Structures are given as C-alpha cells and as structure tokens.
Amino acid sequence: MTLACETCPVRDSAACAVLTEEERDALAAAGRTRVLARGEMLFAAGDEDAACATLVSGALKVSAYDAEGNERILSLVHPSGFIGELFAPFAHHDVVALTKSTLCTFARRDVEAAIETYPALARALLRRSQEDLLASRSLLELTAQASAETRLAALLHDFAAAASDTSCHLAQDFELPLTRGEIANMLGLTIETVSRKLGEIEKAGAIARNGKRGIAIVDPALLRTLSGRC
C-alpha cells in the first residue's frame, strides 16, 4: 500500500513536512503504510533491520526489559512522532502499539539516503531527536526521588496536557492510554501502588474516575500541587 500524503493528518507536523511536495512524493515512493493492532509489535530489541516510521495515528510505547523480564516503558510516541535508530546496527528497544495505530514505514537505508539527499530532513530529525531527549529527561526527573503520589499526579498532568489541543491548557477529561500495569512500568511502581494512589488522588478531589480508563480533571490547581510542579 502506497502513501496518500495529501490526506495525511500529520502532513504539516511530521518530519516530512519540511520537504517540498516533489521531495515528499519521492520519499513516499519508498515508504509503506502499515496498521498495527493494539499489542502488535513494530520491531523488537536486537532486530538488525528495524524499520523507521512516522506515526500517523494511534500511540506506541518504547520499552526495555530487565534481567527478571519486567517491562520498563521508556517513552510514548504520539502522532507525528518519528521512530528509528538511524546509526545503531540494531534496535535497542521494543516498540509496540498501545492502540490501533497507523504508521508510515521506511527501510532504514532509504531514510539514511534521504537525509543525505535532503539536508532539511536531517535538521527536522535532529529537532525531533532533541525533543525526544527532553521527554526522556523529563521522565527521568519524574521518577527521581519523588513519592508515588507525586509521580502519578505529574503523569496525569502530562496526559491531560497532551490530550488538550492547546499545549498550555489541560483537557477537561480524557482516556488513559495505558493500563495500570503500564503506568506502573513507566513510573517504576507496582500495579497495586498505582491503584491505591489513584484512589487517594480521587479522594483528595483532584480528579474523578469514569470507568477503568476515564479521567476527569476536577481541580487542576490541586493536581498541579500534588505533582510538585510550581
């Protein structure tokens, strides 16, 4: 299946947005659209010819596993995000779909060729990479020495901000993209602790829960206080 860039929802925000129409069409000729179901894997740690991809819709997780086989989620990927380690001989982490997702995939050699041909693409990917680095470091800050409640409140705050259209405002209510276990794996906690602290944050009056995944922000200021951010 070839790519229909004209109708692509992330046409203006993905890395390829920096290309001219002709350049973009040339790149698209090398790419393929792919749809992943929830839980389906894009590639696994150790794969030698891991594809590169731009996420068009849905959500992905990037995760590693420790010696005992416990999953650790290192990053979430949202639409217009780019996936792919260009200079490593093999993939370092697993990439799995959290929900049904559509991607634009490319062979790594094609992307490597493209960044040689189109310098603007290299700069766009550099920008994305630096943003990923900031996101990774902010997760690192989160899981530092903060209490379980603080970590969870901060994560909820981030999700609310991500679910909102305007980046500085919080969404009124939204659906958690992750299971309790996945939240625990992101924050370095256990499922039970996440469940308990969610209950406490609700009892404190900062949020309300709607079913298993639904969250409504009741008191944004309180949530912000709990999250320990000024």
Partner DNA sequence: CGCATACTTGACGTCATTCAAACCGTGTGG
Partner DNA sequence: CCACACGGTTTGAATGACGTCAAGTATGCG
Binding flag, residue 189, DNA (CB under 7 A): yes
Q: Of the candidates 125, 112, 74, 110, which has an alpha carbon nearest to the alpha carbon of residue 95?
A: 74
Site mask for its own copies (CB under 8 A), range 20-59, x = bound:
----------------------------------------
Binding flag, residue 119, its own copies (CB under 8 A): yes
Q: Of the candidates 103, 224, 210, 229, which has an alpha carbon nearest to the alpha carbon of residue 170?
A: 224
Nearer to its own copies, 72 or 109 (CB): 72
Nearer to DNA, 149 or 158 (CB): 149
Within 8 A by CB and 6+ apart from 36, the residues are 42, 58, 97, 100, 101, 102, 103
Sole window of 14-22, 40-48, 103-111, 142-150 interacting with its own copies (rule: CB under 8 A): 142-150
Beta strands (DSSP E) in 147-201 are 173-175
Binds its own copies (CB under 8 A): choice among 126, 169, 195, 210: 126
Binding flag, residue 189, its own copies (CB under 8 A): yes
By DSSP bridging, strand 71-77 and strand 82-83 are unpaired
Sole window of 82-90, 128-136, 140-148, 221-229 interacting with DNA (rule: CB under 7 A): 140-148
Binding flag, residue 167, DNA (CB under 7 A): no
Largest CA distance in the chain: 56
CA distances to 19, 39, 56, 89 from 12, rounded to whole Å, are 10, 28, 11, 30
Question: Please, are residues 73 and 106 in contact by the beta-carbon 8 Å criterion?
Answer: no
CB of 47 to its own copies, least distance (A): 15
d(CA 111, CA 95): 18
Please report, as ranges, the residues that interact with its own copies according to CB under 8 A.
Answer: 62, 64, 66-68, 70, 72, 74-75, 85-88, 92-93, 115-116, 119, 122-123, 125-127, 129-134, 136-137, 139-141, 143-146, 188-190, 228-230
Please report, as ranges, the residues that interact with DNA according to CB under 7 A.
Answer: 145, 147-149, 179-181, 188-199, 209, 211-213
